[in-house]
Structures are given as structure tokens and as C-alpha cells.
A and B are shown apart, each in its own frame.
Chain A
Amino acid sequence: MSAYIIRRLLYLVPTVLGVCLITFLLFNVVTTGEAIAKQRLGQHATAEQIEAYLKVHGYDKPLLVRFFITMKDLLTFNFGRSEVTHQKITTMIFNGMGPSLSLMVPAFFFTFIISITIALFTALYRNTWLDRSAVVLCIIGMSVPFLAYIILGQYILGYRFKYFPVSGYEWGLGVFKFLILPGLIYLVASLGADVRFYRTVILDEINQDYVRTARAKGLNQNIILFKHILKNAMIPIITRVVVTLPFLFMGSLLLEDFYGIPGLGAMALNAIDGNDFAVIKALTFIGSILYVLANLLGDILYALVDPRVEFK
């Protein structure tokens, strides 16, 4: 196992280098320092102002030197200060993580449990009207834009019927009342795609020989479902969960904006509004690193549920 983990860790090196390279290319080649300076300082900026901006942000150095400086800064998590609020970006990210996690972790957890349960039921009653109507509902649910869910949910449940506060956030346990509605919307909006995915995964397993054998042995249906099928369906399930994990930290852009939750998603939106290049750069990099780490976790989990993975 440890050899496997070390091997996986070594695989991270080229990926992290690639992520640094992409982040660098985005802000140095796709767009240039001059373009950024003009966007930051406005149309009427003088040549001296632009030059000063370039100097402060290190754009006056040659490309290769800039690349190594960017690499060093990114890898030591030295992101500098926001160009709008002038706060340290690491502090901003640290402060934003809590609200994002408090919204996303429970929402994700319940969505996961509920969609797996529904998927198991539909798979169990496959090809009945129950299954068919569930699949149709899933596809219908997938075809509604996320933004429409948010706007209608907030309008109907929050504004019209006043079941929940329309938006807001507070530190401490009182935050619960602010998080139910966005959490609920996350659940409803994700259910369609999730249930359909898990259903396919479970159906792939349910016709396998080992399931027939288990049935022939006279095993209880529940034991077959939960012990045999779910265990074998674990690899694709882990893959899907792992892909979502970084967003628990990063939060949901749209939900946080609509419900006034001061997390990283809202921070990203503010940065876009204010042309805050430094913050966008930092968030892109942090998000990617989280993704890379989540994938590492996924690889370790694969090996735990299926020992054969270690030797591939």
C-alpha cells in the first residue's frame, strides 16, 4: 500500500507543474501585462501609470524569469494582496473556506445519501413504472438550468411564503436557518444527474454473475444490494464523489452569491466584477491543487475498496 501511495504521490509532480504552467500561461501569454494594467487602471491611464503597474506586478521582467517567480509564489502559496480590497489573499481564502464548507458539506452529504438510496430503489424495481417515472423525472430535473432552480426557490420559498430567510449569514449555530434553503436547492438541482448516474452504475452490477449466484444461494435481497452490489459499484461512485470534493471548499459560485454567504464562491464573483486578477489567479490555483489532492484521495480509496488496483 505505501509503495502504491508513494507512486501516486510521484505522479502528482508533473500534474502540479502542469497546473502552474497553465496558471502562468493564462495570465502572461493569453493576456498580457499591458492588457491587465489597462483593464485595472481604466482607459485614461497614462503611460507612466501603466509602467508603474507593470513594475509593481513584475511584468517588466523577461518571460522566463516571470515563470520561475510565478512558480515559486504559487508553490509557496504566496499570492500577494487583492488588487481591490488590498487584503492578503491567503487570509481571504482562509476566511472564505468556513462559510463555503458549512453550506456545501451538509448539502453534499444529504444529496449523496438520498440519491444513492433512490438509485438503489429504482434499480431494485427496474423496468417497472416506478423506475421509469424516476428516470423521466431525472431527465426533466437535469434539463432545468441551475440558475432557474436558485431564482425560483429563493422567490417562492423565501420571498413569497417566507419559510426561510431570503439571504444572509451569521457565525455560530444560528447560521443553520440561512443554510437550509440553499442546501435544499443544491439537493433538488443535483438529484436528477446523481440518481441517473448511480442507477446506471448499480444496473451495470445487478446483472453480473455473482449477483445471480448470491440469489441462488438464497441470500436476502438487502444483503445482496448493500453488501455485494454497492461494494462492487464503489469505484465509479468514488470517482464521482472525488470530482465534487474540491467544490466543498470552493463553494458554489451561484448559491453563495444569491444567498449572501461570504464563501469562496462569492469571493470569486466579486473578483470577476472588480477585475481582480490576483484573486482569480489564486483561486484557480487553489482549486486545482484541491482537485489534484482529491484525485489522490480517490486513488487511495480505489486501492482500499479494490486491492487489485494497487498492482495495475
Chain B
Amino acid sequence: MGRDKEENKEQIQEQNLIELPVRSLWQDAIHRLTKNRLAVISFFIILLYLTVALLSGLGLIATRYDEQAYKTDPSGVSVLDSYRPPCFDHLLGTDIQGRDVLSRVIQGSWISLRVALTMSVIYITIAVILGALAGYFGGWVDDLIQWIYQTLASIPGLLLIIALTFVLGKGLTNVAIALGLVGWVSLCRLMRAEYLKHKSRDYVLAAKAQGIGDFRIMFRHIFPNTLHIVIISFSLGFIHAIMGEVVLTFVGLGAQSHEPSWGRMISEARAELARDPAVYWPLLSATVAMFIVCLAFNIFGDALRDSLDPKLKV
């Protein structure tokens, strides 16, 4: 009995000696992220953006974005209250149709979120499936998939997105689809490399020995171990989607004139600034909104990468 106690004591002492906190990859990442103050702030900005976007998407806030304001001119006729500078009724002023800019900026967050999510679903699905197939099976499957993405990578991205949206037809959904169909190459490369690395690991061999099917191994066993790459890519991908929407809308392929997208507001600014006095508020509102969201995603995405996989070149 006495000896057992001694042994227990020793064991406890040993445990004390090695009492370094044991954290999983995700716990460690969260620990590091919370220590990075900028990342935490960015995280809350992103959360706020997502909340605002979802609420306006559900029609709970900024519902009157299409409503036109009227005013009475000196002769007593009711006319469109267009280009009213920021005031108490319209905190960010009104646009050419007398519509409230603040409401439209808020609705714009929903549009950008929609574009980003559609794009992400498409490109992540393609990248993960093709990357997994190429890395796991190798051989001709790998050759074929590599050929596909090398070809795709050798067409300038913007040009291909434009051509694709052009043939798919104009509109935001097609912009998002085109961004997704073109944007999967770099994530696919990373996934392929990751599957190459994992396929000869012991846990995969053990699963194979148990007779588990290839696809189950690929997506149930290996995929969770590559999830951090997908998450980092997803976070940084938002910026591409938001910026891409602006360019394509300006080019005339994205949002049409009645849609309250940020790209639309920035595209129309050229004519608005040329007026006298210059109408700056729609441009400024949309740019600042985009700037804050992109900045938050940039900082948070970087911090995420640094805490999950600092060597990753996304």
C-alpha cells in the first residue's frame, strides 16, 4: 500500500513537471488569435458585417432602400429629392432617385455577402474535390487535373471572369458563378499537396487496412486535417469577391442600375463628382463600407493564417 502511494506521488510529480498546456491545433489557434488584439477587433467587425448583411437580407433592416423621397419645390410642386447631402432624415444623404444612401449601403452588404458565399461554395467545392482526387489517386487522374488547372491558370483571371460572365449573361449571380469557376486553382494546388502528404500517413494506412473505401478516407478521414487551409482561403477569398463585384459591375457585367450594390455606387460616382457642387456621399459611403470590411478580412485572414499555418502561401 505504502509503495503504491509513493508511486502515485511520483506520477503526480511527473505530471506536474510536464504540465505544459496540451492544446489541439484549433485550441492553439484560438489562443493565439485572442492574444492578437487587432485580430479580435477585426473578428467583431466581420461579425457585425455578417449580422447586418443577414438582417438586411431577411428584410428586417434597411427595407426602404428603394423608396424615393420627395420634396416640395418653391412653386409648390412635389419633385424627387435627389442628391440631398447628408442630413438628419438621411444620415448619408440621398442618391439621384432620392433613395436613402445609408439604407442602400446596408443592402449592399447583403449583396456582397451573397456574391462572396456563392463564389466560395463553388470554388471551394471544385478545389477540394479535384485537389483531393489529384493528390490521393495520383497517376492519370493527377495528370488530368493538373492539366486542367494549369490551363486555367494560364488565362489571365480577370479576362476569363469577364469572358465567362459575358457568355453566361450579365448579372450578379453570374458574376459570382464566374468568380467561383475561375478562382479555384490556388486552393486546389494547396489541397493536392496536402493530400499527397497525408495519403501515406499511418492513420490513412490504418483506415485502408480496415477496408474503408477511398472516398470515405478522402473526405471523412483526411479532409478534416486540411480544413484549416480551406478556412484561411475562405476568409481571404471574401476580399476577392467584394473587390471583384466592384470591377465587374463597373464594366457593366455585374449589378444592374436598380440594385443597391457597392460596386454600383462607386461606378456611378464619376458622373456624380463632376456635378457642381460635387456629390461625394454615395461614393464615400460605399468606399468606406468596403474599406472597413476588406480591412477586417485582411487582418483577420492574416492572423488566422499566422496562427494555423504560418508557412502557407495563400
Contact = CB atoms under 8 A, between A and B. Distances in A.
Contacts of A148: 266, 283, 287, 290-291
B155 A287 contact: yes
A291 B156 contact: yes
Interface stretch (B11-19, B145-153, B187-195, B205-213): B145-153
A147 B298 contact: no
Nearest to A18: B151
B167 A145 contact: no
A27 B160 contact: no
B252 interface: yes
Interface string B157-175: 0111011101110000000
12 contacts: A15-B150, A15-B154, A19-B154, A143-B291, A151-B266, A152-B283, A253-B251, A254-B247, A280-B163, A283-B159, A284-B159, A288-B154
B266 A247 contact: no
A155 B275 CA distance: 11
B253 interface: yes
B172 to A, nearest CB: 16
Given A250-B159, A269-B251, 11 more contacts: A15-B151, A18-B154, A21-B151, A22-B155, A30-B168, A139-B298, A143-B294, A145-B266, A145-B291, A272-B162, A272-B252
Contacts of A142: 294, 298
Nearest to A284: B163
B267 interface: yes
B287 A145 contact: yes
B295 A140 contact: yes
A196 to B, nearest CB: 9
Nearest to B311: A204
A297 to B, nearest CB: 13
Contact of A280 (B166, B270, B291): B166
A67 interface: no
B243 interface: yes
A26 interface: yes
A30 B298 contact: no
Contacts of A290: 156
Contact of B158 (A26, A27, A30, A253): A253
Interface of A: 14-15, 18-19, 21-22, 26-27, 30-31, 139-140, 142-148, 151-152, 154-155, 159, 246-247, 250, 253-254, 258, 268-269, 272-273, 277, 280-281, 283-284, 287-288, 290-292, 295
A147 B156 contact: no
A147 B147 CA distance: 34
A147 B247 contact: yes
Interface residues of B, number: 42
Contacts of B243: 145-146
A272 B251 CA distance: 8
B258 to A, nearest CB: 19
B274 A159 contact: yes
A26 B291 contact: no
B167 A139 contact: no
B156 A292 contact: no
A167 to B, nearest CB: 11
Interface in B262-311: 263, 266-267, 269-270, 273-274, 278, 283, 287, 290-291, 294-295, 298-299, 302
B206 to A, nearest CB: 33
A295 B151 CA distance: 12
Contact of B167 (A31, A143, A144, A269): A31
Contacts of B43: none
A246 B287 CA distance: 29
B287 A22 contact: no
B250 interface: yes
Given A147-B247, A151-B266, A151-B270, A30 B167 contact: yes
Given A145-B243, A151-B266, A254-B250, A284 B160 contact: yes
Nearest to A285: B155
Nearest to A144: B291
B147 A18 contact: yes
B246 interface: yes
Contacts of A292: 154
A155 B151 contact: no
Contacts of B158: 253
Contact of A273 (B252, B287, B290): B252
Nearest to B150: A15
B168 A284 contact: no
- List 7 A-B pairs, minimum CB-CB distance, nearest first: A18-B151, A31-B167, A143-B294, A143-B295, A288-B155, A148-B287, A287-B159
Contacts of B294: 142-145
Given A144-B291, A146-B247, A291 B162 contact: no
Given A18-B147, A283-B159, A147 B266 contact: yes
A152 B269 CA distance: 9
B304 to A, nearest CB: 14
Nearest to A166: B274
Interface string B222-257: 000000000000000001000100110011110000
A5 to B, nearest CB: 18
B199 to A, nearest CB: 22
Contacts of B267: 147
